[in-house]
Every structure is written in structure tokens, then in C-alpha cells.
Amino acid sequence: MKLLIIEDEKNLLEAIVTYLSRENNICEGVSDFNSASEKINLYLYDVIMLDIMLPDGNGLELIPMIKKENPEAGVIIVSARDSLDDKVSGLDLGADDYLTKPFNLSELNARVKAVWRRKKNKGKQEIIFSEIKMLHESREVFIHETKLKLTRKEYDLLLFFISNPGRMLTKEAIAEHLWGDYIDMADHFDFIYTHLNNLRRKIKQAGGNNYVQTVYGVGYKWTRE
């Protein structure tokens, strides 16, 4: 998953990013309202965790922005304020969950997974697209019951495509989704071609079809057409 964590407590932010990164997620962290706003307007995320009390704004005001720019993202409010009014306001604005500090990182991880399943797959553990079946918890992929041996990036790339059927995905969006903030250090996007070609080859060898449509000069689209 691609995650954005908005938290002004630097130690907690680092702990969350470290823990969730170990769970095979791409994590980005910001500690203020303006930085969060910039990220939300530029990039797509699967789940966004936000604190209410930020040094330069109210985190609740980010939710309408998220719903406009990234409507498929799950939203979890993480706050020290255990106020019923805050919970009701956040949920009314479109948040999917509310977690009060202090909390266990394993619980946060479970909440993130639950929100992602509800948003993307209506709570299902399996993701099925024609002959392709993905088991998200175990990160396994099957083509006609033949198990594919995919690298982490190949799995993430396939999941990104299947989760966005018919949507134009630019090379920049794919690269940023797979590598997060580290993509700023890349000089080109040749690595996308490498991962995509390997993924196509493995699917074809297992008897699957190629659903990736190349739009030259722009990016790629996952489609049955």
C-alpha cells in the first residue's frame, strides 16, 4: 500500500513510518498542514492517517481536500483528542476510522489493512480480475491457479494497476507510488519498463493476458480493451 502519515509529533511519526514500512508499505510522512496539503494535491495514496492538531492548521480541514483529489483513499484520524464532537465531525466529513492516542502500532496496522480492504475490495481478501487472482494478505498471485513468483515491486505494480482499472497512470505517478519520496533521486524512469516487462513476461508464461495498454508519451492504462 501507499500510505501518507500526517503527524506533528516527530518521534511518533518516525515510529509509525518505520513500523508500517516493515509491513511492505510505501510510507511518506509530513508534520504540518501545508506539507500535507501539497502531498495530497500532487500524489495518490491508498490510506491517509492524519492528526487533528497540527501546528499550522486543523487536520479535519484536509479531509474535503482528500475527498476531492484522492476520493478512493481511506482516511484514518489519529488524535490525542478523545472528543465525541471531533469523532462525529471527522466521520461526517468522510473519514473511515478514528483512533485515539496512545495506541499500539500493531492496532494501527490492523486498522490500516481493514480500511484498505473496505475501500478497495469491499472487505474481500481476494482481488480477482479475469484469470488473475491476488491474495493481499499473503501477497500471492495466481494465473489460472498457477502461482507467480513476483518481486515486491512487481506485486505492487500489478496491485496498483488492478486497483485503478481504466485509469490513465502516468510514469511519474507509477514511480512515485512504488518508491515514494525516494523517487526524487532518480534521473529517469527506465526501471518502470524493466519491472513492467518482467511482470508481463511472467503473466504470459503462466497463460495470462496482457491488460496493460501503453499510451505513448503519457503512461499506461489497465484495461480489457
Q: Are residues 130 and 116 in the same domain?
A: no
At 125, is the pLDDT very low, low, confident or very high (cuts 50, 70, 90)?
Answer: low
Maximum average pLDDT range among 20-29, 87-96, 140-149, 179-188: 140-149
Average pLDDT over residues 14-37: 91
Nearest C-alpha neighbor of 79 from the set 46, 104, 54, 55: 54
> What's the confidence (pLDDT) of residue 142?
95
> What's the confidence (pLDDT) of residue 133?
92
At 187, is the pLDDT very low, low, confident or very high (cuts 50, 70, 90)?
Answer: low
Maximum average pLDDT range among 73-77, 168-172, 220-224: 73-77
pLDDT at 117 over 80: no
Query: What whole-number distance in Å separates Cα of residue 84 and Cα of residue 146?
Result: 49
pLDDT at 182 over 70: no
Average pLDDT over residues 166-188: 70
Above pLDDT 90, what percent of the chain? 34
- Kindly report the CA angle at 97 between 92 and 100, in degrees rounded to 5? 110
CB atoms near residue 4 (< 10 Å)? 25
> What's the confidence (pLDDT) of residue 43?
85
Q: Are residues 97 and 178 in the same domain?
A: no
Contact indicator for 9, 30 with CB cutoff of 8 Å: no
Domain containing residue 106: CATH number: 3.40.50.2300
> What's the confidence (pLDDT) of residue 13?
94
Helix (H) or strand (E) holding 75: strand 74-79
- 126-169 tens-digit pLDDT: 788 899 999 877 889 999 989 999 998 899 899 888 888 888 88
Average pLDDT over residues 185-209: 83
Q: Are residues 65 and 41 in the same domain?
A: yes
The structure's pTM equals 0.63
Tell me the average pLDDT of the chain: 85
**Count of domains for the chain:** 2
* Grid coordinates of 36: 500535507
Average pLDDT over residues 169-173: 81
Q: Are residues 201 and 138 in the same domain?
A: yes
Q: Are residues 82 and 130 in the same domain?
A: no
Q: Are residues 117 and 128 in the same domain?
A: no
Select from 121, 152, 172 the last residue of a domain: 121
Q: Are residues 107 and 177 in the same domain?
A: no
CA distances from 96 to 77, 99, 104, 177 (A): 8, 10, 19, 22
Query: What whole-number distance in Å separates Cα of residue 57 and Cα of residue 104?
Result: 26
Instruction: Determine the structural domain holding residue 143 and report its residue range.
Output: 124-222
pLDDT at 7 over 90: yes
> What's the confidence (pLDDT) of residue 10?
92
pLDDT at 34 over 80: yes
pLDDT at 123 over 60: no
Q: Are residues 14 and 78 in the same domain?
A: yes
Nearest C-alpha neighbor of 126 from the set 145, 108, 110, 105: 145
Domain containing residue 153: CATH number: 1.10.10.10
